[in-house]
A and B are shown apart, each in its own frame.
Chain A
Amino acid sequence: MTPRLQIPTRGPWLAGLLWGALSLVCAAAPAPPPHDYSKDEVHVLPVQGNVYMLVGAGGNITVQAGEDGVLLVDTGVAPMSAKVLAAIRGISDRPIRYIVNTHLHADHTGGNETIARAGMTIAGGNVVGDIGASASNQAGVIAFQTVLDRMSAPVTGAERATPQGSWPTETYTTPERKIFFNGEGIELIHVPEAHTDGDTIVFFRRSDVISTGDIFVTTSYPIVDLSHGGNIQGVIAGLNKIIDLAIPAELQEGGTMVIPGHGRLCDVADVVFYQEMVTIIRDRVQDLINKHMTLEQVKAAKPTLDYDPRYGSDTGFWTTDKFVEAVYKSLSATH
């Protein structure tokens, strides 16, 4: 009999990275298990147009490259910065101009400091004249305002400070910010109260690629960071927004490509499956809340039963129990 083909998964590895990343910003989190980054590799996957996906440095990194330079969406974990830079240099030798952070977690912002310093933003005229060359001696780091608020907040309890060099240098507070770079319109779209309260989706309009941050992942149930303003309703709103932006090609396949916060390269059909799953679980938990069930009763009812073998976990940072609890608390607060 032909042996069954085994596909390697990144579940435990990613769980470790997520644990480490979130522990950096979450108060009272236990120390993460040490992870040996020296053996990890950064892989480059061309997506389409000017856009590439870097995998293996924590959260996925999006690279848009062209004559104007390089724009990154997220920077991965800090210990992988040298390998990330080497991977970027394999794509383009132009300056790194912009870094967009999809949210504050350290598996997406840990490389900000090192990678921004390797870059050079576009500045000149009065700006450089007034404050000197330092105005342009690193890449600009752009994020929604609350990312800066939380990164720069005073250290409390066991929470570890985010290095100042990692903080955003430019923030926005409007529903959307637009950039034109490398001959392409780029939309930064804020999704309120989703994975956190500072989420940004990045839409590369000519390349037809969406970089989602952790609103969409293929490796687990959505991580709803309640302590940083997350809410399951916002996650669903974000998924609906991605579906609304994307246009699939023939047979609902391809067309707009979607880079998730973690996991494999996707298209909108993959987002639809995920949105259906999250929406169905939300509806089930809401129905149980409407029946006045307690959190423990809701957990016992197993509202995620049919999706657990695919997205659930009994161990690690983000267990199925924690996900159900986050949905319950999101909806109870909304209720």
Chain B
Amino acid sequence: MRTVTRGSRAAACGVLLVTLLAGALARAQTDPSGSWSPRFDEDATERIPGGEIGEYLGFPLNAAGLARADAWDAALMELPENQCRAHGSDYGWRGPSLLRIWTEVDRATQKVIAYHTHLSAYGAEQTIWMDGRPHPPDYAPHTWAGFSTGEWDGDMLVITTTHLKENWLGLNGLPRSDQATARVHLMRHGNYLTVAVIIYDPVYFSEPFIRTIDFVYNPQQQMAPWPCESVDEVDRPPGVVPHHLPGTNPFLNEYPAKYGIPPQATRDGALTMYPEYLLKLKTLPTLPRPPKKPAP
């Protein structure tokens, strides 16, 4: 007959406690793996057709950022070297992309080494290292995806991305520099996934820029490939870079006129991120609305 001692009881309790705690920790880390489809709500017009030229509201653009965006010419995207250029991993979530997330697991320890993401737009992929490895030195290459590490904050996966290439944050030339750092928060609530992206850009933003994107779990999702091959769309002399000279972009006032928004509101950068800006908005003059086009 076995004798149960006080010591062995304490050890058993300890094992039970550790097991319960480990279970609690495991539950806290909500696995984001799977196939996810984007949800479009009030941000649909900005995400699918893309922002209009001069539509800078809600972006903390500083003077340099405004000047860079004003100079942007859509013809820049016709250049062969820009046609297949992928979105940055900080912006890719925003596109009308299907999303797949999967884990890379160390066979011996069964620990998650990395999460991988694949977006249908451009077939862009990102690796989020979970094994504690450091970010590369400053002389290492920058990429569209950047270098990402993740850590759990409760049930939220917090991703820090450095080494991003320069890119745009909208198809209207909103700039984001290669000096930016992105912090992405993945929050899974059952069959919904919320992705909160915070971008810190010392070059073009006067404040951190935050926005969220929602996805719904969709195991029936079909991910299409994204082959891309550059071609000469327009015959231009080599080395030509389409852009608008300062003060000459003729399209900047189309957006505020179309929606009855004061033009100044497109220039006020970070102020336009806050609710109290509505008070100032009411005091600003608007442009006359363009005449409606006759029905075809």
Residue numbers of A with Cβ under 8 A of B are 2, 4-5, 7-10, 43, 45, 53, 55, 236-237, 240, 243-244, 248, 250-253, 257, 263-270, 272-273, 275-276, 279-280, 283-284, 287, 301, 303, 305-310
A306 and B65 form a contact (CB under 8 A): yes
Q: In the bound complex, how far is the Cα of B227 from the Cα of A98, in angstroms?
A: 42
Report if B111 contacts A (CB, 8 A). no
Report if B142 contacts A (CB, 8 A). yes
Report if B203 contacts A (CB, 8 A). yes
Across the interface, which residues of B come within 8 angstroms of A275, CB to CB? 239, 241
**Cβ-closest chain A residue relative to B70:** A306
B61-89 contacts to A, CB under 8 A, are: 62-65, 67-68, 71, 76, 81-82, 84-86
Q: In the bound complex, how far is the Cα of B104 from the Cα of A318, in angstroms?
A: 47
Cross-chain pairs A/B with CB under 8 angstroms, 29 sampled: A2-B158, A4-B200, A5-B162, A7-B162, A45-B139, A45-B140, A237-B239, A244-B238, A251-B85, A251-B86, A251-B122, A251-B228, A265-B139, A267-B141, A268-B81, A269-B81, A270-B142, A270-B165, A270-B178, A273-B178, A279-B241, A280-B243, A301-B246, A303-B246, A306-B64, A306-B65, A306-B68, A309-B203, A309-B204
Across the interface, which residues of A come within 8 angstroms of B142, CB to CB? 264, 266, 270
Q: In the bound complex, how far is the Cα of B71 from the Cα of A214, in angstroms?
A: 27
A253 touches which one: B144, B158, B162, B181 (CB < 8 A)? B144
Assuming the contacts A251-B122, A280-B243, asked whether A55 and B139 have C-beta atoms less than 8 A apart, the reply is yes
Q: In the bound complex, how far is the Cα of B230 from the Cα of A268, in angstroms?
A: 14
**Cβ-closest chain B residue relative to A301:** B246
Residue numbers of B with Cβ under 8 A of A are 62-65, 67-68, 71, 76, 81-82, 84-86, 122-124, 137-144, 158, 160, 162, 165-166, 175, 177-179, 181, 183, 200, 202-204, 208, 228, 230, 238-241, 243, 245-246
A305 and B141 form a contact (CB under 8 A): no
B144 and A251 form a contact (CB under 8 A): yes
Across the interface, which residues of A come within 8 angstroms of B208, CB to CB? 4
Q: In the bound complex, how far is the Cα of B165 from the Cα of A268, in angstroms?
A: 11
A307 and B140 form a contact (CB under 8 A): no
Report B89 CB to chain A, min CB distance, Å.
Answer: 12
Report A87 CB to chain B, min CB distance, Å.
Answer: 13
Across the interface, which residues of B come within 8 angstroms of A269, CB to CB? 81, 85, 165
- The total of Cβ contacts below 8 Å across the A-B interface reads 119
B85 and A310 form a contact (CB under 8 A): no
Across the interface, which residues of B come within 8 angstroms of A243, CB to CB? 81
Q: In the bound complex, how far is the Cα of B30 from the Cα of A272, in angstroms?
A: 41
Across the interface, which residues of A come within 8 angstroms of B181, CB to CB? 4-5, 7
**Cβ-closest chain B residue relative to A239:** B239
Report A298 CB to chain B, min CB distance, Å.
Answer: 12
**Cβ-closest chain A residue relative to B226:** A251
B245 touches which one: A273, A283, A307 (CB < 8 A)? A283
A276 and B241 form a contact (CB under 8 A): yes
Across the interface, which residues of A come within 8 angstroms of B63, CB to CB? 305
Q: Which of A8, A10, A250, A287 neighbours the largest number of chain B CB atoms within 10 Å of its CB? A: A250
B245 and A9 form a contact (CB under 8 A): no
Across the interface, which residues of A come within 8 angstroms of B179, CB to CB? 7, 310
**Cβ-closest chain A residue relative to B204:** A309
**Cβ-closest chain A residue relative to B160:** A5
B85 and A307 form a contact (CB under 8 A): no
Report B67 CB to chain A, min CB distance, Å.
Answer: 4
Report A238 CB to chain B, min CB distance, Å.
Answer: 11
Report B75 CB to chain A, min CB distance, Å.
Answer: 12
Q: In the bound complex, how far is the Cα of B204 from the Cα of A208, in angstroms?
A: 33
**Cβ-closest chain A residue relative to B123:** A251
**Cβ-closest chain A residue relative to B149:** A5
Across the interface, which residues of B come within 8 angstroms of A9, CB to CB? 138
Across the interface, which residues of B come within 8 angstroms of A10, CB to CB? 138-139
Across the interface, which residues of A come within 8 angstroms of B178, CB to CB? 270, 273, 310
B239 and A240 form a contact (CB under 8 A): yes
A264 and B139 form a contact (CB under 8 A): yes
A280 and B71 form a contact (CB under 8 A): yes
B71 and A263 form a contact (CB under 8 A): no
Q: Which of B71, B86, B246 neighbours the largest number of chain A CB atoms within 10 Å of its CB? A: B246
A240 and B143 form a contact (CB under 8 A): no
Across the interface, which residues of A come within 8 angstroms of B67, CB to CB? 305-306
B165 and A309 form a contact (CB under 8 A): no
**Cβ-closest chain B residue relative to A263:** B139
